[in-house]
């Protein structure tokens, strides 16, 4: 990839940084002086960055990494679950990478990055080979006092809900038409496809349910076009200050379904439980790897003196928990494995009585209702020759249980 012109712009700009500046001082200088580049220079750098994103899309990569000490000057990508140094793309110094990243930000975003040392934002560019706008979820952060950026491609097409393999009863339980209120969680580690699943459920409702859906997220990823439903998108930091504010304000916006991008702090958790209590359908995500862990995490996040009340409230409003992982598949790509919990009266009693350790066996025995443990789903994928034996064991939450299931098979 020829980048002589852009490299010259970056080298010239980097030379203006005072030699006495070190670490974050150099980043701050770039943040404060990036606008001294001409409009033509900034546009050239933006076009170069978009070329990297085009390369990412055409390699079928999910993420791109630029800048920071850990990158060792190279551009890295995650392709089918594995990180790769991309040897055929150019390398950049720490200052040049920081300038490329900062050139993407507006003045308010630059001020926020200085204050918080981290910035979540969305980015869109026009991919002319397909004649479409492509959206990315981005996170700018510091790595040993140097500026780094991760960008994740947002799916351009929503996966139909039926393609995710949920039992019809699970879909019914998560449907606003069947249950008008209650909390449904989609959980998993970073990069496990939570947002994709959540968007599938939003699209499911958007195609047949005449309701009002309010999405509060940081950042907004997939933008839904209102069809049968009216869909509002409120990005934290741009349209609303915090998740908690977005959730509480939604109550005055006549919503039927509130989608909370992540329940990441006690205030958001409490707000989510409160709006669910008022008779709304709420979908949200957590960074947990199992259904039981999700329940325990919610309770543990709040102050000890509040935990009994939260435990009872959660038991009353919880409808479903889907915990998912993306597993390397036999064809060299990735495939989803999931654990599904439905909050039956027995599950609700276990939550209220602080006996969440009993819930795993309830999931294990609830197959007729659509429940499935992660280990049962991994076994299914292995028997269907979709994943290897090694990955079935490696991605299991309960190693003993998966060994028992595979031995029985």
DSSP state of 120: E
**Pairing of β 182-187 and β 318-328:** parallel
Return the HEC string of 287-301. CCCCHHHHHHHHHHH
Structure tokens at 56: 């990412």
Q: For the chain, what's the residue count?
A: 409
In this structure, is residue 127 part of a structural domain? yes
User: Is pLDDT of 377 > 70?
Assistant: yes
Give ∠ CA 280-283-284 in degrees, rounded to 5. 130
Q: Are 312 and 200 in a shared domain?
A: yes
In this structure, is residue 324 part of a structural domain? yes
Q: Please name the helix (run of DSSP H) or strand (run of DSSP E) that holds residue 94, with its range, or none.
A: helix 94-102
Domain hosting 184: range is 161-372
Which of 88-97, 238-247, 364-373 is predicted least confidently? Answer: 238-247
pLDDT at residue number 2: 65
Distance CA 289, CA 323 (A): 6
Q: Are 183 and 270 in a shared domain?
A: yes
In this structure, is residue 32 part of a structural domain? yes
**168-207 pLDDT, tens per residue?**
999 999 999 999 999 999 999 988 999 999 999 999 999 9
Q: Tell me, what CATH number does 277's domain have?
A: 3.40.50.300
Distance CA 372, CA 340 (A): 5
Q: Which of 134, 153, 172 is the last residue of a domain?
A: 153
Q: Rounded to whole angstroms, what are the CA distances from 356 to 109, 162, 174, 181, 399?
A: 42, 30, 22, 23, 19
Q: Are 146 and 166 in a shared domain?
A: no
Distance CA 17, CA 99 (A): 11
Which of 8-12, 35-39, 151-155, 341-345 is predicted least confidently? Answer: 151-155
Q: How many domains does the chain have?
A: 2
pLDDT at residue number 133: 86
Q: Are 289 and 194 in a shared domain?
A: yes
Distance CA 280, CA 274 (A): 9
DSSP string, 4-66: HHHHHHHHHHHTTS-TT--THHHHHHHHHHGGGS-HHHHHHHHHHHHHHHHHHHHTTEEEEEE
pLDDT at residue number 63: 95
- SS3 breakdown of the chain: % helix, strand, coil, rounded to 5? 45, 25, 30
Structure tokens at 123: 């980015």
DSSP state of 116: H
pLDDT at residue number 264: 86
Q: Mean pLDDT throughout 142-151?
A: 96
Q: Are 118 and 140 in a shared domain?
A: yes
Q: Are 124 and 198 in a shared domain?
A: no
Q: Tell me, what CATH number does 84's domain have?
A: 3.30.450.90
Q: Are 96 and 200 in a shared domain?
A: no
Residues facing 126 on adjacent strands = 133
Give ∠ CA 332-168-323 in degrees, rounded to 5. 50
Give the count of beta carbons closer than 10 Å to the beta carbon of residue 215: 26
């Amino acid at each position: 990839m020829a980048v002589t012109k852009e490299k010259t712009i970056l080298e010239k700009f980097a030379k203006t940084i005072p030699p006495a500046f070190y670490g974050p001082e150099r980043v701050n200088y770039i943040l404060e002086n990036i606008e001294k580049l001409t409009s033509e220079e900034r546009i050239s750098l933006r076009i170069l960055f978009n070329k990297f994103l085009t390369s990412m899309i055409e390699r079928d990569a999910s993420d791109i990494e630029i800048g920071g000490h850990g990158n060792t000057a190279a551009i890295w990508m995650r392709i089918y679950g594995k990180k790769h140094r991309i040897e055929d793309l150019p390398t950049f110094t720490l200052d040049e990478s920081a300038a490329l990243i900062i050139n993407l930000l507006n003045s308010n975003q630059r001020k926020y990055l200085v204050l918080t040392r981290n910035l979540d934002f969305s980015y869109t560019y026009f991919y002319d080979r397909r004649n479409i706008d492509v959206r990315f979820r981005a996170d700018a952060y510091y790595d040993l006092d140097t500026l780094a950026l991760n960008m994740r491609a947002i799916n351009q097409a929503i996966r139909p809900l039926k393609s995710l393999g949920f039992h019809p009863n699970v879909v019914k339980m998560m449907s606003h038409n069947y249950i008008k209120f209650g909390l449904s969680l989609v959980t998993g580690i970073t990069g496990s496809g939570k947002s994709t699943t959540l968007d599938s459920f939003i699209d499911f409702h958007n195609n047949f349910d005449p309701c009002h859906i309010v999405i509060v997220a940081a950042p907004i990823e997939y933008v839904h076009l209102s069809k049968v439903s009216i869909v509002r998108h409120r990005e934290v930091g741009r349209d609303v200050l915090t998740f908690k504010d977005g959730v509480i304000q939604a109550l005055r916006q006549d919503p039927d379904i509130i989608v909370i991008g992540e329940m990441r702090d006690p205030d958001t958790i409490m707000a989510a439980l409160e709006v669910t209590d008022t008779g709304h359908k709420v979908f949200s995500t957590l960074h947990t790897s199992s259904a039981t862990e999700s329940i325990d995490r919610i309770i543990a996040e709040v102050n000890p003196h509040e935990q009994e009340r939260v435990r009872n409230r959660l038991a009353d409003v919880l409808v479903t928990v889907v915990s998912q992982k993306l597993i390397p598949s036999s064809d060299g790509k990735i495939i989803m494995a999931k654990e599904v919990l439905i909050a039956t009266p027995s599950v609700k009693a276990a939550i209220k009585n602080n006996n969440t350790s009993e819930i795993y066996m309830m999931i294990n025995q609830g197959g007729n209702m659509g429940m499935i443990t992660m280990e049962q789903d991994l076994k299914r994928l292995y028997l269907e020759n979709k994943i290897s034996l090694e990955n079935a064991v490696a991605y299991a939450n309960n190693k003993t249980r998966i060994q028992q299931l595979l031995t029985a098979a």
